Chains A and B, each alone.
Chain A
Amino acid sequence: MSSALIDLIWESTLETLYMVAVSGIIAALLGIPLGILLYVTRPRQILAQPVAHRVLGLVTNVGRSIPFIILLVAIIPFTRMIVGSSIGTNAAAVPLTIAAIPFVARLVEGALNEVPPGLVEAAQSMGATPMQIVMKVLLPEARGGIINGLTITVVALVSYSAMAGAVGGGGLGDLGIRYGYNRFNPTIMLITVVILVVMVQVFQSVGDYLVRKSDHK
């Protein structure tokens, strides 16, 4: 294999990691608060707001139901506004982030829902404010579930990032399609797939480790 090809594979790997990292971090920063809001506004929850809950739920579901490849092109004007261009790795990171936010939010909501209601009741009996309940009870107790959700998100992002080629985002998936499929080079295809498999394995193992470390259940 030529050194040019090796460089290309290395570069694509970095592009994939970059897209996953940027979209993963921003999606976590926005998706976790959205997930918390979804949970605390539920009926009979600490900040029950049935109408707001339904609106948030609807928006989240819409976000999750749009196929990624369509989202990728549909939000091009928005992408251009954010990163100044509609093509390239940064441009691919925007739709990845947008797709991941509702995904994270639902997983966080689910993780919070696993916290026994008795713990919230106990905190209320101690005179905790809703904010204190979120910060000192819900989030710490759901920590394992949230990390698990973020791991699932990162793995999904690795997979979604393969479609980034559609907007010239690069990455391993794009390399596999262009060199492996379009140019009939099964070796390249195999290498990209192997790298992706290893990447997912590593992310999952790190995630599992963090879950184990953070939970005392």
Chain B
Amino acid sequence: MISLDKVSKTYGSGAGAVSALVDIDLDVPQGAIYGVIGLSGAGKSTLIRCVNLLERPTNGKVHIDGEEMTAMNAAQLRAARHRCGMIFQHFNLLTNRSVYDNVALPLELMRESRQTIRERVESLLEMTGLADKAHQYPAQLSGGQKQRVAIARALATRPKVLLCDEATSALDPQTTASILTLLQEINQKLGLTILLITHEMEVVKTICHRVGLISDGKLVEDADVGDFFTAPRTQLGRTFLNDFLELEPPRALVERLEAAPSAQTHPVVRLTFSGDSVSTPLISKLSRDHGIDVSILQAKVESVQGRTLGLMIAELMGQAEQTTQALATLESFDLHVEVLGHVQRTD
């Protein structure tokens, strides 16, 4: 439904040129929710603005629903934008228009009749739970209500695609959850294809089917959300995941960690389970087969897009050869093992 083909965006020219996007290839299938995640300044905002050409890519092609956006003239582009809604971090509602009139705006721009506008706006306000707020002004609404108005407005022209630019970043966690639920409903009921950018893994985890990770203007990961959460392919992906799961070793432990093992140390490992390995009684197996003790320092189980994800930080306590064998056993399972370091044994 949305496809980016070698899209690049460079600001300025010559020595002062800054590459915001480099050769981005991205494909969002019909009906999917695709989340692009990345740190501030990675190029997320530029990326989403290149889709509806609020920013014109320096190179590459953008297609929406088979139409090449990058080949259109101004009038064609305006018509195409009616089929592509967008919502923003700061809502961008018109302060001097009521809720009703804000939602009506895109229809007015298309010169729809008053009658059509009324029917459409009323049904959208109903759907977004704002029917009783129709005659209020944005200043009287909470952040979550404002974003609902913005969503209703973006859907007014019955677009096939919705672009969300950090749509929940200005909202508190509870409101974020309710907006995400609304987006999910829209996606399921209307079959709307959604491309969103965010810096919150929570958003990706909750509603996205696929995720792209952007770093320095490059798309470094592009995976199913389940795959990304169980086995990110890049270090940055892993950092995002660990930050999100708050699965960092305790500070006191980090201070004791040594990079190299010795006869006097135990390895500390971070295990990421997924798929079948979740249900394997791994710890007792290690104890039994290798005669070591396993001290669990942190553990967590998450469910992502119907898949279970287990995470654990553990210290393997035993003789050097025993722990080495235990590590080898771990590696043979369907799980990700990362040795964080080694701590002096205290036994």
With known contacts A126-B109, A136-B108, A217–B81 Cβ distance under 8 A: no
Q: Is the CB of B54 within 8 A of A121?
A: yes
**A67 close to B (CB within 8 Å):** no
Q: Is the CB of B109 within 8 A of A122?
A: no
A120-140 interface code vs B (CB 8 A; 1 in, 0 out): 011111111100100011001
Distance A92 CA – B77 CA, assembled complex (angstroms): 50
CB neighbors of A among B164-210 (8 A): none
Distance A127 CA – B153 CA, assembled complex (angstroms): 13
Size category of the binding interface on chain B: 20 to 34
Contacting B139 at CB < 8 Å: which of A125, A136, A216?
A216
**B60 close to A (CB within 8 Å):** no
Q: Is the CB of A119 within 8 A of B109?
A: no
A residues near B95, Cβ cutoff 8 Å: 141, 215-217
**B86 close to A (CB within 8 Å):** yes
Contacting B105 at CB < 8 Å: which of A116, A136, A215, A217?
A136
Distance A123 CA – B157 CA, assembled complex (angstroms): 13
Minimal Cβ-Cβ distance residue in A for B89: A118
Question: Between A and B, how many residue pairs show CB distances below 8 Å?
Answer: 69
With known contacts A122-B88, A129-B78, A216-B139, A143–B96 Cβ distance under 8 A: yes
Distance A129 CA – B137 CA, assembled complex (angstroms): 25
A residues near B297, Cβ cutoff 8 Å: none
Minimal Cβ-Cβ distance residue in B for A129: B78
The A interface is mostly helix, strand or loop, or mixed, namely: helix
With known contacts A119-B92, A216-B137, A125–B109 Cβ distance under 8 A: no
Number of interface residues of A (CB under 8 A): 22
Q: Is the CB of B139 within 8 A of A126?
A: no
Minimal Cβ-Cβ distance residue in A for B150: A122
B residues near A123, Cβ cutoff 8 Å: 105, 109
Distance A127 CA – B82 CA, assembled complex (angstroms): 6
A residues near B106, Cβ cutoff 8 Å: 126-127
Q: Is the CB of A128 within 8 A of B109?
A: yes
B residues near A126, Cβ cutoff 8 Å: 81-82, 85-86, 105-106, 109, 153, 157
**A214 close to B (CB within 8 Å):** yes
Contacting B90 at CB < 8 Å: which of A118, A124, A125, A136?
A118
**B94 close to A (CB within 8 Å):** yes
Q: Is the CB of B96 within 8 A of A216?
A: yes
CB neighbors of B among A167-217 (8 A): 214-217
Residues of chain B touching chain A, judged by Cβ–Cβ distance below 8 Å, are 52, 54, 77-82, 84-86, 88, 90, 92, 94-97, 105-106, 108-110, 137-139, 153, 157, 163
